[in-house]
């Protein structure tokens, strides 16, 4: 039996950021992690001799909380390769090379896309990402799907197809009919603006030398043997005075406070004794994971660069709707990363592994030419089969869910609190959001948990 002030469930960036901050303030902390590794949705792994980012990897300039953490942990960043032209494939399958942010479409449609980005940003300006349910007209915006809403803003379906891609396929990884306009505005507001999301050079600016998972690994190192791996928490017994967390391996942690730092769709994997209140039972059912397959294809050399291509490619009409140069820092090989989202991902997994690979590489070849058909390493990240994640990138509410439940999503239940990047405001669904919400929830716990005599501040607060 272990006794500590706080038990943290989940050793992703959220849980580990909070644990470090709590410990630095003088509380004792135990972290219980289901997997045999820390990092959760960040995972830097060697596949057939090549280092790949299986999960979260990019950092944008406004992600200042993550940038501070990287600095504090002594981790360096490097620029995503982006020299040269991008590639766009239109509805007819025509491939065009272009530069700048706006897709090479007929002038009227390109202008319409620019106008729509501005219109969406006028709405975004009124959204506080920490309280999107307080946005003017929030109820109406939350009961309309993003697709239906865009259709009210423009009759140009090519323009709306392209604009919806930036948030549907590329961010929430759900079809644009499956989430609300308000949810889309939250996504954009959490990144500063819709113009930021549309700008790959902004939102996918930098990577971490050696990989993003090191953030969690270094945070966990500081906690030492307070982090327990292979310890999925099955039961949380709670009263107003404290909690007992029961995990595999016979681990039993008695604590004054608990932080459940797991993806929201997994809250119900834990048995709460007594059960959570009605409100949590209801609201937790309205948060669901999107789904995207992140595909890596590694080549002997970054052959596209020689043809003047940056490696950046987009098409709302291709299986791989976006792709980038994802070459590892200092490597002579060349790596492309592509994304297959929502229903395309479902469809792809009805095929055999060989058929899937042929479809994905065929799509990459459409963007970059036939050399893309012959990678030396090919890897599909399938977060849908990961028991302790169950989708990618993150969770979002269904239609109407933000207004109906959003304000209560972080409410404490007795000594139990919930936090993850999926519940963050700024940095929502991103590693930066995990750092921010990890800090915030630690401060909430500190506000109600006096440091016992004899315990003193230790370590860095991150
Ligand atoms: P996370 O899910 O990481 O951590 C939760 C932890 O809880 C996990 O370690 C899990 O094993 C554990 N757990 C679950 N149930 C448990 C139980 N019952 N008991 C104990 N432990 C339990 N972000 C970004 O900023 N830039 C990017 O480029 C990308 N790209 C990207 C690609 C892909 C493929 C994915 C999947 C995700 C991204 N993201 C991203 C998103 C980013 O990775 C994500 O938002 C954060 O890493 C989430 O961190 P959290 O700690 O909140 O949850």
| 379-404 pLDDT, tens digit each | 999 999 999 999 999 999 999 999 99
Q: Which of 431, 438, 440, 442 to mutate to test the pocket of ligand 1 (most atoms within 8 A of CB)?
A: 431
Ligand 1 atom at minimum distance from 14 CA? 51
- The response to whether residue 341 sits with its C-beta less than 6 Å from ligand 1 reads no
Of the listed ranges 193-202, 250-259, 271-280, 281-290, the one predicted with least confidence? 193-202
- Res 106 pLDDT > 50: yes
State the Cα–Cα distance between residues 96 and 339, nearest whole angstrom: 19
Helix axes 213-223, 13-24, angle to 10 degrees: 30
Q: Which of 7, 9, 12, 384 to mutate to test the pocket of ligand 1 (most atoms within 8 A of CB)?
A: 12
- The response to whether residue 14 sits with its C-beta less than 6 Å from ligand 1 reads yes
- The response to whether residue 173 sits with its C-beta less than 6 Å from ligand 1 reads no
- The response to whether residue 427 sits with its C-beta less than 6 Å from ligand 1 reads no
Q: Which of 40, 253, 264 to mutate to test the pocket of ligand 1 (most atoms within 8 A of CB)?
A: 40
Contact assessment for residue 211 and residue 57, using Cβ atoms and an 8 Å cutoff: yes
Report which DSSP code applies to 13: H
Ligand 1 atom at minimum distance from 270 CA? 18
- The response to whether residue 34 sits with its C-beta less than 6 Å from ligand 1 reads yes
pLDDT of residue 462: 57
Q: C-alpha angle with apex 235: 230 to 240, nearest 5 degrees?
A: 130
pLDDT of residue 168: 97
What is the pLDDT averaged over residues 196-207?
92
Of the listed ranges 16-25, 234-243, 286-295, 449-458, the one predicted with least confidence? 449-458
What's the 3-state SS for 28-45?
CEEEECCCCCCCCCCCEE
Ligand 1 atom at minimum distance from 294 CA? 34
pLDDT of residue 457: 47
> What is the CA(12)–ligand 1 centre distance, in A?
6
- The response to whether residue 270 sits with its C-beta less than 6 Å from ligand 1 reads yes
pLDDT of residue 270: 98
pLDDT-derived band at 330, boundaries 50, 70, 90: very high
- The response to whether residue 212 sits with its C-beta less than 6 Å from ligand 1 reads no
> What is the CA(105)–ligand 1 centre distance, in A?
36
The backbone torsions φ and ψ at residue 189, rounded to the nearest 5 degrees and listed phi first, read -65, -35
Ligand 1 atom at minimum distance from 10 CA? 7
Q: Which residues pair with 89 in a beta bridge?
A: 95
Q: Which of 14, 31, 41 to mutate to test the pocket of ligand 1 (most atoms within 8 A of CB)?
A: 41
- Res 97 pLDDT > 70: yes
pLDDT-derived band at 450, boundaries 50, 70, 90: confident
What is the pLDDT averaged over residues 45-51?
96
Ligand 1 atom at minimum distance from 57 CA? 28
> What is the CA(452)–ligand 1 centre distance, in A?
32
pLDDT-derived band at 452, boundaries 50, 70, 90: confident
- The response to whether residue 9 sits with its C-beta less than 6 Å from ligand 1 reads yes
- Res 459 pLDDT > 90: no
Respond yes or no on whether ipTM tops 0.90: yes
> What is the CA(234)–ligand 1 centre distance, in A?
19
pLDDT-derived band at 102, boundaries 50, 70, 90: confident
> What is the CA(152)–ligand 1 centre distance, in A?
35
Mean pLDDT of the chain: 96
Contact assessment for residue 182 and residue 142, using Cβ atoms and an 8 Å cutoff: yes
State the Cα–Cα distance between residues 396 and 398, nearest whole angstrom: 7
Give percent of the chain above pLDDT 70: 98
The full set of domains in the chain, from first to last, is 2-41+213-276+413-448 (3.50.50.60), 44-59+77-82+291-385 (3.90.660.10), 106-202 (1.10.405.10)
- The response to whether residue 40 sits with its C-beta less than 6 Å from ligand 1 reads yes
What is the pLDDT averaged over residues 319-348?
96
Give the strand pairing for 251-260 and 416-418: parallel
Contacts of 118 (CB under 8 A, 6+ apart): none
Contacts of 233 (CB under 8 A, 6+ apart): 9, 32, 34, 245, 246, 247, 270
Contact assessment for residue 311 and residue 201, using Cβ atoms and an 8 Å cutoff: no
- The response to whether residue 386 sits with its C-beta less than 6 Å from ligand 1 reads no
What is the pLDDT averaged over residues 258-284?
98
Ligand 1 atom at minimum distance from 383 CA? 36
């Amino acid at each position: 039996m272990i006794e500590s002030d706080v038990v943290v469930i989940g050793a992703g960036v959220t849980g580990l950021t909070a644990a470090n901050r709590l410990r630095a303030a003088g509380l004792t902390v135990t972290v219980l992690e289901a997997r045999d590794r820390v990092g959760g949705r960040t995972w830097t792994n060697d596949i057939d001799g090549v280092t790949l980012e299986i999960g979260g990897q990019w950092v944008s300039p406004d992600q200042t909380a993550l940038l501070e953490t990287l600095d504090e942990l002594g981790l360096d960043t490097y620029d995503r390769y982006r020299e040269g032209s991008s590639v766009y494939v239109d509805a007819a399958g025509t491939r065009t090379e272009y530069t700048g942010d706006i897709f090479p479409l007929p002038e009227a449609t390109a202008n319409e896309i620019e106008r729509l980005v501005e219109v969406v940003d006028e709405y975004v300006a009124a959204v506080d990402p920490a309280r999107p349910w307080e946005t003017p007209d929030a109820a109406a915006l939350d009961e309309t799907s993003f697709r239906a809403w865009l259709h009210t803003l423009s009759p140009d379906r090519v323009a709306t197809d392209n604009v919806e891609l930036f948030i549907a396929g590329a961010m929430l990884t759900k079809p644009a009919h499956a989430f609300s306009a308000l949810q889309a505005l939250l996504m954009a507001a959490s990144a500063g603006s819709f113009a930021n999301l549309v700008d790959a050079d902004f939102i996918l600016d930098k990577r971490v030398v050696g990989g993003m998972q090191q953030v969690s690994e270094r945070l966990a190192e500081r906690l030492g043997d307070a982090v327990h791996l292979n310890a999925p928490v099955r039961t949380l017994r709670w009263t107003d005075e404290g909690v007992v967390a029961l995990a595999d391996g016979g681990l039993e942690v008695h604590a004054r406070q608990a932080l459940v730092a797991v993806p929201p769709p997994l809250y119900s994997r834990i048995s709460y004794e007594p059960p959570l209140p009605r409100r949590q039972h209801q609201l937790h059912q309205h948060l669901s994971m999107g789904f995207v397959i992140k595909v890596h294809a590694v080549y002997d050399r970054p052959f596209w660069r020689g043809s003047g291509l940056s490696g950046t490619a987009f098409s709302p009409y291709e299986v791989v709707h976006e792709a980038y140069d994802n070459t590892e820092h200092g490597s002579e090989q060349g790596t492309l990363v592509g994304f297959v989202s929502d229903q395309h991902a479902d469809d792809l997994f009805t095929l055999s592994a060989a058929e899937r690979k042929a479809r994905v590489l065929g799509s990459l070849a459409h963007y970059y030419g036939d050399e893309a058909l012959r990678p030396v390493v090919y890897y599909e990240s399938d977060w849908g089969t990961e028991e302790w994640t169950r989708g990618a990138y993150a969770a979002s509410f269904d239609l109407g869910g933000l207004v109906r439940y959003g304000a209560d999503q972080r409410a404490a239940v007795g000594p139990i609190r919930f936090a993850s990047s999926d519940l963050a405001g700024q940095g929502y669904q991103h590693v930066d959001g995990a750092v921010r919400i990890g800090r915030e929830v630690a401060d909430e716990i500190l506000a109600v948990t006096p440091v016992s005599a004899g315990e003193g501040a230790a370590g860095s607060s991150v």
